[in-house]
């Protein structure tokens, strides 16, 4: 017995020494090593520095992209634009969440999780995503009847989902507002003052923003964008028909694209938390500087993602989907949009960075933004309010589209659309900031710490 007690004391002493570091500063020990896998469907874009802006003549002499050197940190980017089928997953998730809530009001024990694993109540309860919804069941259909168009809005008695009710509610933290100093109170203008954000020190909820966004694409964009053109078949079929599953989603506003990124982040974080894994950085829209760096594919002086000054290859074939010549849309292989990854990728492995559809960036559009944004991760963010004038609701779009002439396919060409508008020639793709410096970093190897 004495021998056992002695061994236990020795073990405790050794454990104590290991955890305390013998009085030395060694950091928290026994932390799990971290490895960030490549997100599905995304490619790694390394950190880099490049000359952003015009590298050749400014054809319209707009003076909106003066050349300057900027640096961006490493990130992941979707290798293609978000497709109809990928965006449909978001729409169906919103649809099912509304359905689960309605069913839960009738049968909460089956469709809602009202307490946690310790028997403590959730208020409000969570939706039980493991509960299956049989949309063909008559009782279920009666409960969910309010999700469908009212009878007087139907034709030929076709029962269709009322897409106006597909609203996605999410929250985000306004870090820029939290970081903003308040000089209105005495003493807050002093350097290092701890009271420069008095609201946040008392109640951080003042920086939480709530958004409610209808997620269904504006399928009528094909018609209202071209009044004197017959595009009704695209309006009727483009988003939902399987023939267009792998075409880029269009008719999505900047706000809807941003909501998609928020939902995608929640989807991945929830999965990782259930598996007991750490979460990653959120998905988001790319900044303008990130987009141009990714589009260049490491080619500093090339006006196009594929390199060289031409839009055709040596065999005379077009390298992107745009409006060639004088309206000969079909000459490049497409009429409107084409299936994603139809053309060759750039040197980063990214497809369709020029042509097919233009892409939303996170930045607000300002003609002089290149003059006042920082040269590190350059970005101009402005969250426009509904009451703001239209000029403050402009968001950057990049890359050119199937309806644009070749000039807008250049990697430095920039223009804008309004954040609450949806066009049949604008889509988007997501990015995710890389956790670390570069992929070859190894945090578990001391020799790399200061390299």
Is 3 a member of any domain? no
pLDDT in single tens digits along all 451 residues of the chain = 656 555 555 555 555 555 567 888 888 888 888 888 899 999 999 999 999 987 666 666 666 778 889 999 999 999 999 999 999 999 999 999 999 998 888 888 788 887 777 777 777 777 888 888 887 888 888 888 888 898 888 888 888 889 999 999 999 988 888 887 665 555 545 544 445 555 556 778 888 899 999 999 999 999 999 989 999 999 999 999 999 999 999 999 999 999 999 999 999 998 888 888 888 899 999 999 999 999 999 998 889 999 888 888 888 888 899 998 888 888 888 899 999 999 999 999 999 999 999 999 999 999 888 889 999 999 999 989 889 999 999 999 999 999 998 888 999 999 999 999 999 999 999 999 999 888 877 555 444 443 4
Is 448 a member of any domain? yes
Burial 25-45 (b: 16+ CB within 10 A, else e): eeeeeeeeeeeeeebeebbbb
Residues with Cβ < 8 Å from 87, sequence gap 6 or more? 217, 249, 252, 260
**Which backbone phi and psi does 324 adopt, to 5 degrees?**
-80, 155
Structure-derived torsion over alpha carbons of residues 134, 137, 138, 143, reported in degrees to the nearest 10: -20
What pTM value is reported for the model?
0.88
Task: CATH number of the domain at 291, please.
Answer: 3.90.1580.10
**Which backbone phi and psi does 436 adopt, to 5 degrees?**
130, -170
Is 353 a member of any domain? yes
Angle between helices 84-106 and 254-274 (to 10 degrees): 70
The per-residue pLDDT for 218 is 95
Is 450 a member of any domain? yes
Is 54 a member of any domain? yes
Other beta carbons within 10 angstroms of residue 432's beta carbon come to: 23
Other beta carbons within 10 angstroms of residue 286's beta carbon come to: 29
Is 139 a member of any domain? no
Instruction: Give the domain extent around 46.
Output: 42-83+217-451
Let me know the angle formed at the C-alpha of 262 by 258 and 264, rounded to the nearest 5 degrees: 110
The per-residue pLDDT for 272 is 87
Residues with Cβ < 8 Å from 383, sequence gap 6 or more? 174, 209
Helix or strand holding residue 17 (H, E): helix 2-20
Is 11 a member of any domain? no
Per the structure, the count of domains in the chain is: 1
Is 177 a member of any domain? no
Helix or strand holding residue 426 (H, E): strand 426-427
Beta bridge partners of 70: 50
DSSP tag of 321: -
The per-residue pLDDT for 61 is 63
């Amino acid at each position: 017995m004495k021998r056992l007690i002695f061994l236990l004391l020795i073990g405790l002493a050794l454990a104590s020494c290991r955890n305390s570091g013998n009085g030395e500063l060694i950091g928290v020990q026994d932390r799990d090593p971290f490895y960030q896998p490549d997100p599905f469907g995304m490619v790694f874009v390394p950190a880099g520095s490049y000359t952003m802006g015009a590298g050749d003549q400014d054809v319209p002499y707009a003076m909106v992209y003066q050349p300057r050197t900027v640096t961006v940190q490493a990130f992941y980017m979707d290798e293609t634009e978000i497709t109809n089928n990928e965006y449909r997953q978001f729409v169906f998730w919103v649809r099912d969440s509304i359905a689960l809530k309605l069913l839960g009001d009738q049968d909460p024990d089956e469709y809602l999780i009202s307490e946690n694993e310790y028997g403590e109540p959730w208020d409000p309860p969570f939706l039980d995503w493991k509960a299956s919804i049989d949309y063909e069941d008559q009782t279920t259909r009666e409960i969910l009847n309010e999700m469908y168009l009212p009878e007087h809005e139907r034709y030929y008695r076709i029962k269709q989902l009322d897409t106006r009710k597909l609203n996605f509610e999410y929250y985000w933290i306004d870090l820029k507002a939290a970081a903003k100093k308040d000089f209105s109170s005495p003493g807050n203008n002093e350097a290092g003052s701890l009271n420069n954000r008095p609201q946040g020190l008392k109640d951080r909820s003042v920086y939480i923003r709530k958004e409610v966004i209808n997620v269904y694409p504006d399928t009528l964009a094909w018609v209202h964008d071209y009044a004197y053109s017959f595009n009704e078949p695209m309006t009727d079929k483009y988003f939902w028909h399987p023939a267009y599953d792998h075409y880029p989603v269009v008719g999505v506003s900047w706000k809807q694209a941003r909501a998609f990124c928020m939902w995608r982040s929640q989807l991945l974080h929830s999965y990782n938390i259930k598996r007991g894994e750490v979460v990653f950085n959120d998905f988001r829209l790319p900044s303008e500087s990130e987009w141009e760096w990714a589009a260049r594919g490491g080619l500093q002086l090339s006006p196009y993602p594929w390199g060289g000054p031409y839009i055709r290859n040596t065999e005379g074939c077009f390298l992107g989907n745009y409006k060639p010549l004088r309206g000969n849309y079909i000459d490049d292989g497409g009429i409107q949009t084409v299936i994603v990854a139809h053309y060759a990728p750039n040197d980063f492995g990214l497809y369709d960075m020029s042509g097919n559809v233009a892409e939303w960036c996170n930045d607000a559009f300002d003609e002089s933004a290149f003059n006042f944004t920082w040269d590190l991760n350059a970005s101009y963010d402005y969250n426009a309010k509904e009451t703001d004038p239209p000029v403050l609701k402009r968001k950057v779009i990049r890359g050119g589209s199937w309806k644009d002439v070749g000039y807008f396919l250049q990697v430095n060409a920039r223009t804008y659309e309004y954040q609450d508008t949806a066009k049949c020639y604008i889509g988007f793709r997501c990015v995710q900031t890389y956790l670390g410096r570069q992929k070859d970093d190894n945090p578990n190897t001391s020799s790399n710490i200061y390299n």
